[in-house]
Chain A
Amino acid sequence: MTAPSETLRAPLVVEFPFTRSLGPVQSAFLTGLRERTVLGVRTETGEVLVPPVEYDPATAAELRDLVEVGATGTVTTWAWNPAPRTGQPLATPFAWVLVRLDGADTALLHALDAPGPEAVRTGLRVRIRWAAERSGAITDIACFEPYDSDPVNEPAAHDGRFTDPVTGIVAAARLDYTYSPGRAQTRYLHALGERRTVGERCPSCAKVYVPPRGACPTCGVATTDQVEVGPRGTVTTYCIVNIKAKNLDIEVPYVYAHIALDGAGLALHGRIGGIPYDQVRMGLRVEPVWSDDGRYPDHYRPTGEPDADYDTYKELL
């Protein structure tokens, strides 16, 4: 067993633009923000919830009674953020605030632009600073800013109707990771860099896993004993792919196969080339083909050997 020369790591980015539809209340609220109008919803007991929800958090009753509240309000609690993070409303130090807008009974979370923590307190009067360009999203409120005013506590009835209402939002997100594959896969990838394929044997059942992930899923113990397998192998089963994948530069139809490398206890998958797609068969003997800069085999091609006998690979299907 050789120790990995170093732990591999690579950037891993997960980005997802979740497209979400809005119900009648959220649609009215977010469209309202686009029009510089803040809507809340009135519960059966007369409380006004801002931001509004479609169902009462206490009773689960359906809520549709929209009202307009003020663009001014009062800070109910706050937290000074000295180092804004990516995606947050302001790039300069700011206060996170819960603000009860005038006419509302609940508070909205947002950012407060203030010169420093000494300028912020619970009870501070604030007003909305609208974003210059608004699309119907919570970020249409750019932030709050301190504003000395008397509260106006009577919400006004509002029918929630706007021309061209917003019916959906795209909740874009990006998370950055540094992926490291762990010991077993690091060893595997290092060996692939030398164009060798290395599996790991389970000390309990002796099966050789390729690629190894560090554990035998049958026995639940670590696989530590490294075994070089291949390079040749046998097609155990295959399929013919007729649909071209996006961004994939391979002509269809092509064959994708399970290949049991010699000495391996299970098959890995790879593309078969160098043979017409309709001549690939179970038992075909193949070998890896590396592209010049490839870090793993580009595809497998026939070796020209006689086909393997079914009994030699039937356990690996």
Chain B
Amino acid sequence: MTPHRPDREVAIVAFAQSDHRRRTDDLSEVEMVMPVLHDVLRQTGLRTSDIDFTCSGSSDYLAGRAFSFTMALDGVGAWPPISESHVETDGAWALYEAWVKLLTGEADTALVYSYGKSSPGSVRDVLTRQLDPYYLAPLWPDSVALAALQAQALVDVGATDEPALAAIATRSRADATANAHAQLPGARPQGEYVVRPLRTGDCPPIGDGVAAVILAVGDRARELCARPAWIRGMDHRIEAHSLGVRDLTDSPSTRLAAERAGAFEAPVDTAELHAPFTSQEVVLRRALDLDESVRVNPSGGALAANPVMAAGLIRLGEAAARIHRGDSDRALAHATSGPCLQQNLVAVLEGEPHVR
């Protein structure tokens, strides 16, 4: 299948995120979001009034309140009226919407942000409410339980084992020591089984956090950023809702999204994978055919900080920031949503080789 080549060049020109913390009781959502918005705008010198399109991602179920994103929008400075949209999922999909908006020519700059405040509720229980309400939700299978079923399926086919999963956890959290925003940097015990075969160390931290990026087109991007991270392709795909009809050891939706995004046309040097559970990195590496030459999750990944609804956007932001810094020339960024990697988004980002 031939990937689609966008007519307009669109780049991520700035990325900011909060320090991710277990609780932020002292902050309302807008109080949590605002400093990150100010940070990302400051990096480009743009003001809200300079931004053509704003798109956010979050979930009311985390906060337990309807239309919670409208309050967070106060942190943008939405008056006089701005062009704005919202996705009720990870901010990576808000970035996708903004990217499409820029490709259509209706905007030249976009602000994308997302946030998750998991601390008010029990995120394992909250996430059960995204499941099929007829056959699954009445059983309250929590997010760790579903990931553990996938992990056991991987063990059964010989794709991994507990020591290999522990090594993924160790590598991720060691890498996170270089990430000032991470919630769980450094060595952690693998701990007891949460739901066997997954131990505490195989699971992501629960926490609150925010991420924001700015997108711009063509020469506007070059004005705003010394080395823009050009989005060469982006695609997202979904698999059947019912877990029992899927091969949990594989992720055909990730592979197809990557193919459509052009990921297989040339090697990538970096991959930021949204794998909240160690076992999911195994699935994604297989689906994306990543070998040891690719630097996977140098940020520490979702095992070091997993603000639900922002963790996917952070993968795109971290990949872009590596290009901005000259640490990467061609990076793959992945975001997921839903149980057992149900929905997957893949973007390919590149820096111009002559600009470092």
Contact = CB atoms under 8 A, between A and B. Distances in A.
Given A96-B149, A181-B28, A220-B74, A215 B34 contact: yes
A253 interface: no
Contact of A217 (B38, B78, B153, B195): B78
A186 to B, nearest CB: 8
Interface of A: 7, 9, 12, 14, 18, 20, 22, 26, 30, 49-51, 53, 57-58, 76-82, 85-89, 96, 98, 100, 106-111, 117, 122, 137-139, 169, 171, 173, 175-186, 213-222
Contact of A179 (B120, B124, B138): B120
Contacts of A222: 31, 34
Contacts of B73: 217
Given A57-B242, A169-B134, A111 B27 contact: no
Counting chain B CB atoms within 10 Å of each CB, which of A122, A177, A184 scores highest? Answer: A177
19 contacts: A18-B133, A22-B134, A49-B242, A57-B240, A57-B245, A80-B196, A86-B140, A87-B128, A96-B145, A109-B141, A171-B137, A171-B138, A176-B121, A178-B120, A180-B120, A182-B32, A185-B28, A219-B77, A220-B34
A204 B133 CA distance: 48
Nearest to A141: B139
A139 B141 CA distance: 13
A183 B28 contact: yes
A79 B74 contact: no
B149 A85 contact: no
Given A12-B65, A51-B135, 4 more contacts: A7-B25, A49-B242, A87-B125, A109-B139
Interface string B122-153: 10111011000111111111100110111111
A88 B139 contact: yes
Task: Give the size category of B's interface with A.
Answer: 35 or more
A187 to B, nearest CB: 11
Given A88-B139, A122-B156, A220-B75, A51 B133 contact: no
Contacts of A20: 133-134
Interface of B: 25-32, 34, 37-38, 48, 61, 63-65, 71, 73-79, 120-122, 124-126, 128-129, 133-142, 145-146, 148-153, 156, 192-193, 195-198, 240-245, 248
A88 B151 CA distance: 20
Contacts of B75: 215, 220
B74 A30 contact: no
A137 B135 CA distance: 8
Nearest to A209: B74
B124 A77 contact: no
Contacts of B26: 7, 180, 182-183, 186
Contacts of A117: 196
Contact of A79 (B65, B140, B149): B149
B242 A51 contact: yes
Contact of B77 (A81, A180, A184, A216): A216
A184 B31 contact: yes
Contact of B27 (A96, A100, A171, A183): A183
Q: List the 5 shortest-distance A-B pairs measured between CB atoms, nearest first.
A: A220-B77, A182-B28, A79-B148, A107-B244, A87-B140
Counting chain A CB atoms within 10 Å of each CB, which of B26, B142, B192, B197 scores highest? Answer: B26
A220 B48 contact: yes
